[in-house]
């Protein structure tokens, strides 16, 4: 049995009841199986055993009071996975589906994603099963303050720097930063995704979505294709999806779908982003409202099935939202590329189907790395006490995404699997972190 297969079995046995974490471990380890067999140094140094065990896992009670005066209790998590190449870095997710398995899958992926950005950041992730949907600002603030009252002792600008994710945007980061500052009496860049007036970086809000389109452009160019005039199918209607749509439209593509957890919109004339942003960012309504306002668009209730005709598909909502059925629909419509805006949105079976059908696929750890990259740029600006212009940040982002694409395509080719960007990303990310782990001795 190969070292990778042995360790997949071992990790599953050691971490029962964590299906999302098992899925992420399988996705990474099995794609680098041959590389590990050719390089026994990693087995000799028990690198997989060490990488799969987080440096530490913090799980805590978050008690807070709602507007009616009731005491509510949620669970908080922070998994500090690996800091071999820099301080732990990764977002906080507030969503009812959050549990230790979800946070561990996100944290494990984050280690390798952060490594391929070329920036000095380690991997971590956290969050809570708190649902900000339908809560008042006062309730959200009360929750965030209680969350940080426990977490503050474990984080810091050189230790662990959290950011946003599902359910955590600038507002929540602002409340958490405020409470952190109050408890520690320091003004440091311990959070990224902050408001522009207190240390936030320009283009951070847009970075994940824009970065996704920049890497998609690189991929298409390498195949002598162009985004201009393409139909793009996007899922989700949150931070990543909205700014992916914005950049796609500005590059001349037509965005034909968007979704939320209630249903999805098909707009054959192309989504009108000003209407969508008004609904999602300002009024915070369900996506259904779009079809009531925009003529010619249609709303479908329930899970998005990727059945709309498109040239490129960008899952930008959540994990496991693109399954085998979805990929079959995309193949029927002759899709030319799939790039993941969300983390692990494609199931393992769906990934295999894409590969069997030679559909270029850029995995999340490369495709959505723009967000954490600009977060790292925010950390640099905070340390230097400077603010870069939006053009400066955007051009750095573009360059980082181009470098990531070159790195993952060259690594795939050097490892005998040209065009396998999943393998390229996993080997490149693993090698960087694993070599640092070995160099730092048995710790």
**Cβ 443 vs Cβ 254: under 8 Å:** no
Alpha-carbon torsion, ordered 30, 35, 37, 39, to 10 deg: -140
363 belongs to the binding site for ligand NDP (CB under 6 A): no
Alpha-carbon distance of 115 to 103, in angstroms, equals 18
Looking at residues 191 to 210 of the shown chain, list those that interact with ligand NDP (rule: CB under 6 A): 208
Residue 76 or 345 with smaller CB distance to ligand NDP: 345
239 sits near ligand NDP (criterion: CB under 6 A): yes
Asked whether position 237 contacts ligand NDP by CB under 6 A, the answer is yes
> Measured between alpha carbons, how far is 36 from 321 in angstroms, rounded to an integer?
30
Residue (254 or 303) nearer to ligand NDP, CB: 303
Q: Name the strands in the sheet holding 56-65, side by side, starting at the edge strand that comes first in the sequence.
A: 56-65, 71-82, 122-128, 88-94, 160-163
Q: Which is nearer to ligand NDP, 114 or 145 (CB)?
A: 114
Residue 305 φ then ψ, to 5°: -110, 10
Residue whose CB is nearest to ligand NDP in the complex, by number: 238
C-beta of 284 vs 295, nearer to ligand NDP: 284
- The window from 46-54, 73-81, 233-241, 396-404 that contacts ligand NDP (CB under 6 A) reads 233-241
Q: Is 165 in the site for ligand NDP (CB under 6 A)?
A: yes
Q: 18-52 burial, b for 16+ CB within 10 Å, e for fewer? A: bebbbbbbbbbbebbeebbeebeebbebebbebbb
User: Smallest distance from the beta carbon of 272 to ligand NDP, in angstroms?
Assistant: 17
Nearest distance from C-beta of residue 418 to ligand NDP, angstroms = 27
What are the residue numbers of the active site? 125
**Residues found in the chain:** 443
Burial letters for 256-288: b for 16+ Cβ neighbours within 10 Å, e otherwise?
bbbbbbebbbbbeebbbbeebbebbeeeeeebb
Longest dimension (CA), the chain: 63
Which of 86, 167, 360, 429: binder of ligand NDP (CB under 6 A)? 167
* Interacting positions 368-397 with ligand NDP (CB under 6 A): 368, 371
Task: Report 330-359 residues binding ligand NDP (CB under 6 A).
Answer: 341-343
**Closest separation between CB of residue 37 and ligand NDP, Å?**
31
Binding-residue pattern over the window 293 to 332 for ligand NDP, x denoting contact by CB under 6 A: -----------------------xxx--------------
* Smaller CB separation from ligand NDP, 80 or 117: 117
Residues contacting residue 172 through CB under 8 Å, at least 6 positions apart? 92, 94, 132, 140, 144, 164
Q: How many residues bind ligand NDP (CB under 6 A)?
A: 22
- For residues 242-281, which are near ligand NDP according to CB under 6 A? 260-262
Dist CA 278 CA 72 (whole Å): 31
CB atoms within 10 A of CB 389: 10
Instruction: Please answer whether residues 297 and 259 qualify as being in contact, where contact means their C-beta atoms are separated by less than 8 angstroms.
Output: no
* Residue 164 found at the interface with ligand NDP (CB under 6 A): yes
Q: Which is nearer to ligand NDP, 114 or 409 (by Cβ)?
A: 114
Which region among 35-43, 235-243, 269-277, 430-438 touches ligand NDP (by CB under 6 A)?
235-243
Instruction: Count the neighbouring beta carbons within 10 Å of the beta carbon of residue 329.
Output: 19
Residues at the contact surface with ligand NDP, assessed by CB under 6 A: 164-167, 208, 236-241, 260-262, 316-318, 341-343, 368, 371
């Amino acid at each position: 049995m190969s070292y990778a297969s042995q360790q997949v079995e071992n990790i599953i046995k050691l971490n029962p009841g964590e299906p999302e974490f098992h899925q992420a471990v399988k996705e990474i380890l099995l794609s680098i199986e041959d590389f590990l067999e050719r390089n026994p140094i990693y087995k000799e140094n028990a690198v997989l055993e060490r990488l799969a065990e987080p440096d530490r896992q913090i799980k805590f009670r978050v008690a807070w009071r709602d507007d009616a005066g009731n005491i509510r209790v949620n669970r908080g998590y922070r998994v500090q996975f690996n800091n071999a190449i820099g301080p732990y870095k990764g977002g906080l997710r507030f969503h009812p589906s959050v549990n230790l398995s979800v946070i561990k899958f996100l944290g494990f992926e984050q280690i390798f994603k952060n490594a391929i950005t070329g920036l000095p950041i380690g991997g971590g992730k956290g969050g809570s099963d708190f649902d900000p949907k339908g809560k008042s600002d006062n309730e959200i603030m009360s929750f965030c303050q209680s969350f940080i009252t426990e977490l503050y002792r474990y984080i810091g600008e050189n230790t662990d720097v959290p950011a946003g994710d599902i359910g955590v945007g600038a507002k929540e980061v602002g409340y958490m930063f405020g409470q952190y500052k109050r408890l520690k009496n320091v003004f440091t860049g311990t959070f990224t995704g902050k408001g522009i007036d207190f240390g936030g970086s320009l283009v951070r809000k847009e970075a994940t979505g824009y970065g996704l389109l920049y890497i998609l452009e690189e991929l298409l160019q390498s195949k002598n294709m162009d985004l201009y005039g393409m139909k793009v199918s996007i899922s989700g209607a949150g931070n990543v999806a909205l700014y992916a749509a914005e950049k796609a439209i500005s590059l001349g593509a037509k965005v034909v779908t968007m979704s939320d957890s209630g249903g999805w919109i098909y707009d054959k004339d192309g989504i009108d982003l000003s209407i969508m942003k008004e609904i999602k960012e300002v009024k915070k309504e369900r996506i259904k409202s779009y079809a009531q306002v925009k003529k010619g668009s249609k709303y479908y209730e329930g899970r998005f099935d990727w059945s709309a005709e498109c040239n490129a598909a960008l899952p930008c909502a959540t994990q496991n939202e693109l399954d085998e059925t979805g990929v079959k629909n995309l193949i029927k419509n002759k899709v030319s590329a799939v790039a993941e805006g969300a983390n692990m949105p494609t199931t393992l079976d769906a990934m295999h189907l894409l590969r069997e059908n030679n559909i270029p696929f850029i995995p999340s750890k490369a495709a959505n790395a723009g967000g954490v990259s600009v977060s790292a740029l925010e950390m640099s600006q905070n340390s230097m006490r400077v603010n870069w212009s939006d053009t400066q940040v955007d051009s750095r982002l573009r360059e980082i995404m181009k470098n990531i694409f070159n790195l993952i395509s060259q690594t795939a080719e050097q490892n005998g699997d040209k065009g396998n960007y999943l393998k390229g990303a996993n080997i490149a990310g693993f090698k960087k972190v694993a070599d640092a782990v070995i160099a730092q001795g048995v710790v």
